[in-house]
Amino acid sequence: MIRLQRLILFALLNAISAYCNLTPDLEEYSKTSSQSLLWAPYRANCYFGLTPRYVHKEPFVLGAMWFNSINAQGLANVRHFVEQGDKLDKYGWVWYDPRIGGKETITDSENNLQLNFTFVKSHSGENWAVQVEGDVIDRSKKAAESIVIYMKQNGKEDSSCFLEQDLNHARTHNTLSFKGFSNELKGYTVSFANENSEFYKSSIPPLTHDTNPSIPSIFSMNVPDDQLWKAKDIFQSILKDSVQAHIEKNPKLSAESIPSALTIRNIHNFPPGNVQYIQQTFSGHFKFEIIFNKDRSKDQIEEHSIDHLIGLAETMVQQKFDRKFNIPGTSKFKEFAQETFSNLLGGLSYFHGTHLVDRETSFDDENFEKVELKNSKEEGPFELFSMVPSRAFFPRGFYWDEGFHLLQLLDYDSDLAFEVLHSWFDLIDSDGWIPREVILGDEARSKVPVEFRVQNPNIANPPTLLLAFSEMLSRAKTIQEEMLESHMHGNVHHEEPKSSFEGNILSSHPELLLSYAQDIYPKLLKHFEWFRNSQKGMLEEYLEVPSINSGAHEGEAYRWIGRTVTHCLPSGMDDYPRAIIPDSAELHVDALTWVGVMTRSMKQIASVLDLEEDLKRFTEIEQNIVENLVTLHWDDEQKLFCDITFNDDATDDEDLREFVCHEGYLSLLPFAVKLIPHDDVDRLQHILNSMSNEETLLTPFGLRSLSKQDEFYDTAEVYWRGPIWLNLNYLCLDALQYYFSDSPLKSEEAQHAELFKQASKLYRQLRQNIITNTYSVWKKDGYVYEQYNHKNGNGSGVQHFTGWTALVVNMIGRLPEDL
């Protein structure tokens, strides 16, 4: 009957959409969405770097560098890739949307420079402009601020691709102009225009005719496509050679001549090539624009229109943010929230290239030393469209981080979330594996320590991507049913406009998402089976334990492959304490929990697709996992979910299982991902007690990762042994809402009055503590962090962690203030 109703629903909606001629197909949707996402600063590892998405054979690439050339030390302080060691006062996006544009501000006291990059696009999305504006911070100090823009049109030497200066244009216009062509982008023009900039002017003549810092300097050479990421190294090398040549002619260079000496020139007489360096040096305020226009485009960007485009883009981004997040303009959190969320989006990157995989090295069940992956081979090329946890420290794709990124993005731009998810799912290989870290190409690899570059198909990671996908499908199903209900009653909802800029096309055409789910389902099924098979634990070791023998479901017990004596990197909670002596028979509660999440997600997909046999199977597996969480991992003495290990010294069968209990995120996880049944009131009570206890987990800044009473609290690396992480805190807040707001328990609220009172108090307190502390640290330091100190609330770990810490925005603008 349910299946028949759903088929009728689909038929009615399709008929309505066809009648109204409103339904695009998936290919048409993809084309529309891709156009608005074609260009953006997708090289998030650069302070500012542009490249088109999914144009990978012959892409145009742009990057920016800067340094203060007033003295010889300036060359050592060239900024290019985002580096924590640069110790900038601040950098990041103050408003940004990849479909529309944004403004990035940079404060660099060491180079005495305040710098802004503002990016906008034409309505079609095929043309763009960047406004570069800056000034010296301290005008009492002499400055020669060199801004270097480099551009390259990729393409093989024998191809028709080129990028060259248009000298005819330069003679007749007060701008620099370059012509380019690629088979993917076709013909285009890139122009540079200055607006009353204070170019550096020296009181003495330049050292040579081609090193005059008062005018733009252009240097061209050929650089192989796969070497462009070394643009800074190339620039510094050429400049050092040039400086050395100056010194050989004039060993006693005056201080006044240093800006001239640090102006790039063609010292080696290279023929013009496919890379163009444009260096401009300023002594005060400057403002110039870079404009990219495709030949014969209908909406080319005119130089005089850029300020207007910027104003329009800022308004559009602001209005979109206000519609998606309920944060009053009078709120002190408004600026913090928009900037933090903009920096999450600012980490959106497009990667293309090969990755390193070791498929030969296996893991010995009895060996818990770190395994060296020495048999790597390049595979690919592949492509990935993904956000990154941190532009400075982690500019690559992380499997379990991305699920949290998507949970944030769903409320703002569900179409973009789908594009990212689609890209990740395309990486599922023939065995069903997705790497836990996706590091594509030399540029991405250059930012990764050698020991982490190689991936192995035995290693898993928490499957948060399926958590996000099932949430997408759940919303699509709800929307579809609401649309049917509305049309059946003759009601028409006048909601926000559906457009590619809003990122809500799929929400008005949920059938497209459901169609994709049907296409991707076989790959997801393979991924599901890979995860279960590769991480399966040895439950048979415990079958002599009476309580396990009588109640456990044999197929559902798991452990993380790749765990070592000191770390369990695959779990995501790297140094969280596990059994002191590792054992091949140990079973990890979080591994089982995440398989439960994965199963629930697959059940949701099977339900939407009317796959009755699969739905029945997933329902059974999920129920078995829920029961095994209690049968295997619940310790009745400590009232916690715990890992277990095999006790060789047991004197009776019941003691063969040894609980490894460490109160913290691990013990809370089954609750946080909503795997505890609503009617399991006793365990819900114990978990509430755990989260509410200031002597164990609760702090004025959020929930500690590990109890203050644990023997390993605040020891060793102190990574997941005390510090506060916002991703798990967010899940706990969301779970509190799930269990105590819209819950079957609500009908029995009087019976459980104290429980609901405790949950409501904890929710309000925890939400407020996290928001207030994260905001206070941002107000003081200008950044959000990877984690927060469990004793004083200060930011710790990676600075400017633009990934899941941005979940604080959802806490402010999406989660209710009270249950």
Give the count of beta carbons closer than 10 Å to the beta carbon of residue 310: 18
Which pLDDT score is estimated for 15? 40
Which pLDDT score is estimated for 494? 46
**Would you say how long the chain is, in residues?**
819
> What does the alpha-carbon distance between residue 798 and residue 447 come to, in Å, rounded to a whole number?
14
Which pLDDT score is estimated for 436? 95
- Within-domain flag for 21: no
Residue 435 phi, psi (nearest 5): -60, 145
Which pLDDT score is estimated for 9? 42
- Within-domain flag for 419: no
Query: Which residues are within 8 A (CB) of 85 and not within 5 positions of it... i.e. 6 or more apart?
Result: none
pLDDT, mean over the chain: 92
CA distances (Å), origin 52, targets 289, 504, 616, 636, 639: 19, 22, 44, 56, 53
- Within-domain flag for 94: yes
Which pLDDT score is estimated for 174? 65
- Within-domain flag for 408: no
Which pLDDT score is estimated for 367? 85
**Is 786 an active-site residue?**
yes
| Intervals of the chain under pLDDT 50 | 1-22, 493-494, 496-497
Say which of 307, 481, 574, 748 is annotated catalytic.
Answer: 574
> What does the alpha-carbon distance between residue 179 and residue 196 come to, in Å, rounded to a whole number?
25
CA distances (Å), origin 148, targets 235, 281, 285, 404, 439: 9, 9, 16, 36, 27
Given 608, 637, 661, which residue is the final one in a domain? Answer: 661
Query: What DSSP letter does each residue of 402-428 carry, written as one string?
Result: HHHHHHHHTTT-HHHHHHHHHHHHTT-
> What does the alpha-carbon distance between residue 531 and residue 459 come to, in Å, rounded to a whole number?
9
Burial class (CB in 10 A: 0-12, 13-18, 19+), 253: middle
CA distances (Å), origin 782, targets 83, 88, 210, 722, 777: 16, 11, 41, 24, 7
Q: What is the amino acid identity at position 610?
A: D
Domain with 72, as residue range(s), is 43-323
- Within-domain flag for 799: no
- Within-domain flag for 388: no
Say which of 314, 583, 590, 786 is annotated catalytic.
Answer: 786
Which pLDDT score is estimated for 195? 82
Q: Which helix (H) or strand (E) holds 735?
A: helix 726-740
- Within-domain flag for 276: yes
Task: To the nearest 10°, report the CA torsion of 497, 500, 504, 508.
Answer: 70
Q: Which of 101, 78, 102, 82 is closest to 91 using CA atoms?
A: 82
Burial class (CB in 10 A: 0-12, 13-18, 19+), 245: middle
Which pLDDT score is estimated for 152? 97
**Is 574 an active-site residue?**
yes
Given 265, 293, 323, which residue is the final one in a domain? Answer: 323
- Within-domain flag for 119: yes
Burial class (CB in 10 A: 0-12, 13-18, 19+), 369: exposed
The CATH code of the domain that includes 273 is 2.70.98.110
Given 626, 661, 696, which residue is the final one in a domain? Answer: 661
> What does the alpha-carbon distance between residue 10 and residue 17 come to, in Å, rounded to a whole number?
11
> What does the alpha-carbon distance between residue 401 and residue 397 come to, in Å, rounded to a whole number?
8
Residue 61 phi, psi (nearest 5): -130, 135
Which pLDDT score is estimated for 20? 39
Contact in structure between 200 and 281 (CB atoms under 8 Å): yes
Structure tokens at 614: 């699969």
Structure tokens at 461: 């990671």
Quote the number of domains for the chain: 2
φ/ψ bin of 87: left (φ > 0), alpha (ψ from -120 to 50), beta (otherwise): left
Which pLDDT score is estimated for 539? 95
